Amino acid sequence: MPKIGLRPLAAGCALALGLALTMPAQAEETLTVWVTKGFYKGEDDALLALVDRFQQATGVKVELSLYSTEDCIVKSVAAVEAGTPPDVGYCTTYDFRTTGQWAFEGRLEDVSDVIAPIKDGFQPDALATTFLMNGKTGQKAYYAFPIERQTMHIFYWKDMLQDAGFTEADIPTTWDAYWDFWCDKVQGGLRAKGKRIYGIGNPMSVAASDTFFSFLTFANAYNVKIVDDSGKIVLDQPENRAAMIAALKSYTSIFTRGCTPPSSINWLDTDNNVNFHNRNTVLTHNATISIAGKHLDDSTNPTLTEEQRAQAKKNYEENIRTAYFPKKPDGSTLPNLAATKTAVIFADAKNKPRAKEFMTFMLKDENLTPFVEGSLGRWYPATKSGAARPFWTDGKDPHRAVVSKQFTDGTIPFPFVYNYHFTTVNAENVWAKAMSRVVQDKVSPDQAVDEMIARIKEIAG
């Protein structure tokens, strides 16, 4: 996607950043910023307005580039390797693919001087994911900015559930009974009416990040401990190996029982969404509420007909439910795995002082809040003030109310927070490869897990 050049306006008064007195912009001074293009117009509009205000305040020209999710990470990795990165990067897959590795390799600027004065304003578990090890110094520091957060959610069609002959009161809350209900009873009820519909949309492909988000939630349900707090791999310990085998059996049984579309073994990240929107599946899980958000966005889309907008509004408000995962197999409540989206300043950036100034500006409530809320709830705030806003807490929006409760109930981080090598493990998607070994190659879950452990130790040990 081509760069979006934003015209610099006359410099306003200097910004009080709490770091140092801002110097006036030099002639033709520029700052390069790369960001993942938003799913919704509101995200991009808020970012453009933020950039414009920064330009007015500083006289610095911001060369802003918006890229698709995959292009953003691919271009960033190539630029870092070439020694020509942007000054600021915010791609929404940095956190689970590159941030930890870049910090360890010394490719990121230490931004502790920006974070320290404002760290009390962040949710502690969000902030903790940006306190990373630098392998060159042997010390941890803040090498990234927590911008937004995500966790796993369940989505189902209430009207399709009713069409199958059930009500929401019939949905079990225990682990095995929950998945059996959607697989056997709901799917069975719809098939009895001659409808070729699947009870569950289960991401299973190597190509989809949804696969590891979903599978690690199942592993979490079975109390699998993959690494300890120091980053040491403990998955090979007998109790963790046994729990991982049980999790793999649970996840793949949805496929082997014919309860998810056969194509789910090849799905890309959008395909579980598409199958749900097309009502080919009754339930799916996803790491943001973009599934519900799509219908909220459609409800005001001027390119759609009045009838289509009305149906989208009804879907969002009545037909689609955002829900919690069932209780773990041991009967306890499943804690929510959460990831924090990270922005960074690169060590090879050409204009690091202005980059820090820009990020300080972006993290102010009046700038960050419209950007986060422009995603229609797809991303959750990393700041305490953002999470306390009525947008999340007033209970008027049925989907955001669930998300807010999930985060306020407490979250735990993904393994890559403790061991950056798991960004490679995730990129290779060893979890999906183990699924494929079970459902396509017909090996036992025990063998598939042993192969998984061997590969993880080879990558991350």
351 belongs to a structural domain:
yes
Beta bridge partners of residue 336, listed in sequence order: 411
Task: Report long-range pairs for 113-119 (Cβ below 8 Å, ≥24 apart).
Answer: 113/19, 113/356, 114/19, 114/142, 114/145, 114/356, 114/359, 114/360, 114/363, 115/142, 115/145, 116/142, 117/18, 117/19, 118/363
As for how many domains the chain has, the answer is 2
Count of CB atoms situated within 10 Å of the CB of 14: 12
Q: Which of 148, 209, 122, 153 is nearest to 340 (CA)?
A: 148
Identify which of 33, 91, 25 has the alpha carbon closest to the alpha carbon of residue 62.
33
pLDDT at 17 (0 to 100): 39
In a domain, 268, yes or no: yes
**Separation of alpha carbons 125 and 452, rounded Å:** 28
Residues 157, 133, single domain; the answer is no
d(CA 173, CA 120): 36
Six-digit token string for 455: 């590969």
**96 within a domain of the structure (yes/no):** yes
The residue count of the chain comes to 461
CATH of the domain at 219: 3.40.190.10
Q: Which amino acid is at 308?
A: Q
C-alpha to C-alpha distance for 29 and 26, rounded to whole angstroms: 5
* 64 within some domain: yes
Angle at alpha carbon of residue 40, lines to 38 and 44, rounded to 5°: 50
Q: What pLDDT is stored for residue 23 in this prediction?
A: 53
What are 415's two structure tokens? 């393994």
The reported pLDDT for the residue numbered 427 is 84
Tell me: do 312 and 427 sit in the same domain.
Answer: yes
Q: Which of 388, 409, 430 is the last residue of a domain?
A: 409
Same domain, 50 and 22: yes
Rounded CA separation 456/461 (Å): 7
In this structure, are 343 and 329 located in the same domain? no
Q: Are residues 211 and 294 in the same domain?
A: yes
Q: Final residue of a domain: which of 366, 385, 409? A: 409
- Which of 385, 409, 433 delimits the end of a domain? 409
How far apart are the C-alpha atoms of 53 and 59, rounded to whole Å? 10
Q: What domain range is 441 assigned to?
A: 153-334+418-460
Q: How far apart are CA 90 and CA 70, in angstroms?
A: 12
Q: How far is the first Cα of the chain from the last one, in angstroms, to the nearest whole number?
A: 38
52 in the same domain as 102: yes
Residue 148 forms part of a structural domain = no
Element of type H or E holding 207: none
Asked if residue 124 and residue 10 are part of one domain, the reply reads yes
Q: Does residue 299 form part of some domain?
A: yes
Query: Do 225 and 312 fall within a single domain?
Result: yes
Q: Are residues 183 and 287 in the same domain?
A: yes
User: Residues 399-429: pLDDT tens digits?
Assistant: 999 999 999 998 999 998 889 999 889 889 9
For residues 326 and 347, state if they share a domain. no
The kind and range of the H/E element at 250 are: helix 238-256
What is the value of pTM for the model shown?
A: 0.89
Is 327 in the same domain as 342?
A: no
In a domain, 81, yes or no: yes
pLDDT tens digits, the chain, 461 residues: what are they?
333 333 332 233 333 333 333 455 555 699 999 999 999 999 999 999 999 999 999 999 999 999 998 899 999 999 999 999 999 999 999 998 899 999 999 999 999 999 999 999 999 999 999 999 999 999 999 999 999 999 999 999 999 999 999 999 999 999 999 999 999 999 999 999 999 999 999 999 998 889 999 999 999 999 999 999 889 999 999 999 999 999 999 999 999 999 999 999 999 989 999 999 999 999 999 999 999 999 999 999 999 999 999 999 999 999 999 999 999 999 999 999 999 999 999 999 999 999 999 999 999 999 999 999 999 999 999 999 999 999 999 999 999 999 999 999 989 999 988 899 998 898 899 999 999 999 999 999 999 999 999 999 999 98
Asked if 132 and 226 sit in the same domain, the reply is: no
